[in-house]
A and B are shown apart, each in its own frame.
Chain A
Amino acid sequence: MSARLAYPGGAPHVVVIGAGSTGAATAHDLALRGVQVTVVERGEVASGTTGRNHCLLHSGGRYCVKDEEAGIECIDENMILRRIMPDVLELNDGLFVAISDDDLAFKESFLEACEACHIPALDLSKERALELEPGLNPEVLGAVQVPDGVFEPFRFCLSFLASAQSNGAAVRTFTEVVDFEGDPGTVAGVRVRDRSSGRIETIGADIVVNAAGPWAERIAALAGIQVPVAPTPGVMVSVGRRLNNMVVNRLNKPADGDIVVPQRVSSIIGTTSWSVDDPDYIPIPQDHVEKMIKCGRELIPAIGEAPIRGVMAVARPLISKGGGDAREVSRTFECFDHASEGVEGFVTISGGKTTTARAMAEKVTDMVCEKLSVEAECRTRDVPLKSYRTFYTRGAA
């Protein structure tokens, strides 16, 4: 690469756009490899897609039948996250439950797919399923236990960012990218607006990583690049009563309202899927809310009597392959080096899901380090993360 070091004599400097799970994990990986990092985020940490996600630490069970690659990614990352962020995971496993004969007929292919993806799966009797999760529909015909879990998305990101900060990274929230810096065909930094002062400033960078999720298309367009991201929201409904200890999924191919994720004193039912053009503000279709309650009570009947506490919707950053049903689009991720489109110093990482954020970070950090000739191995599989609270602490207590 050309000698465009923004910090002559020091380590190379990388700007990461976005403080969702992907940007946070990428900042951590880069900082661990000795790269200087500045994260710029237009809002609060996790104020976009990551914050409003379903909180499901995937075992891979939801994908293994249709998408073996995504299933394997999930179980591998699930096991890594248990090692590096045990404080911010509720690890109570998950059940895939059969309510109808059609669900039960799906069990054989489900168990085979779990085995192919090396997802530990335990075939349970109806009695055992009800013993584990007494709130299940008493009509349950059988269930499979898998190592699903629950995270809290905001603290998930804070953990990665606190670790990145401890290795020298700067995290600038409420700092919005308005343009890129550099000669035509080159990205040499970002122009940002500080939302507190209104001031515009330039932050130089050897490479800029676009980790803006469903906003990645808008960011890339500033550099004259097109990235194929399809903002695909889903509605989730949180009820103000905790009804299950474990994650409860419908044993069938992914469909609307087929999962209830418990968290703290709530249970969260999800989800739906449709397409939008503008991910900034997504009005919630009321019929989706009603559908969540209807489908959710087929799994856990008490959902019908529980008070609705919160309703949220946000766009997933799925990689668009052109046309088709969003549920059929792969949930894996992709990394784009825009040098292939004639713009140096600019990469985009998109797709994926919070469970696989660390793997996404590893892939894009490998790409960035190769471009910068930084020879350092990825260590994020094994290095435990800092307490999420240290993202904010000043040590004055």
Chain B
Amino acid sequence: MHPRWMLALRTVAAWFFTLLLFFPLGWLALTAFKTELQAIEVPPHWLFTPTLENFVEVQRRSDVLLFAQNSLITSVVSTVLGLMIAAPAAYSMAFFRTRHTRDLLMWMLSTKMMPAVGALVPVYVLAQTAGLLDSLTALIIVFTLSNLPIMVWMLYSSLRDIPGEILEAARMDGATLWTECRHVVMPLALGGLASTGLLCLVLSWNEAFWSLNLSSARSGTLATMIASYSSPEGLFWAKLSAASLVAIAPIVAFGWFSQKQLVQGLTFGAVK
């Protein structure tokens, strides 16, 4: 039983770190409703008359809907494609382990340790040669492949929680591989599939590096739109903040409503 002062200290510390983490987003949101002059004032003002002029300017300057559509398409398609590839891979590794399974998983994960810029030139040349520069196809392929290691790992951890004897029982009951997956594995792994899909949706939506380097006017995502507000004249903080808020608002709202599944997916295997 902890003493009350310790509980109070922990509560204060938790609030402090939460506010610290939230501060950049909160500041971004405030700045989006300021004028450019108010945005660069020192000291900054906490009380001001909010304005929507930055959002009007963002909508006027950029085809927000096109960028949002591209973000949505690339995120959703890469997530679905990734799940279709990762799920069978994770299934075979979880239920048909060999002595190399662990090594294979570690190798997959090791590809995430390399900085993306290390693969920029070959990927760019490949996309250019295939005529896929500034196309949604290129982004979908790159997003899928770059998230695949995480998806396989998360699904593998999720499937490992299913006792193998249940699948054996299904086989004894006459289940084929398809009926086994449909009636037994999928219902039991639904939570894991959902968490994995949600996390990769968020990762794809926020992906900026490949979007900036492989896309332009046609296939640019919201990340590309935000970057376009950095101009030779300098950074227009208020407009930049408004553009950023437009870009992150959908995914923040989505994450808010699915936070339970996201946390579940992120903490898989943490405690056994």
A binds B: no
* Interface residues in chain B, defined as those with a beta carbon under 8 Å from any beta carbon in chain A: none
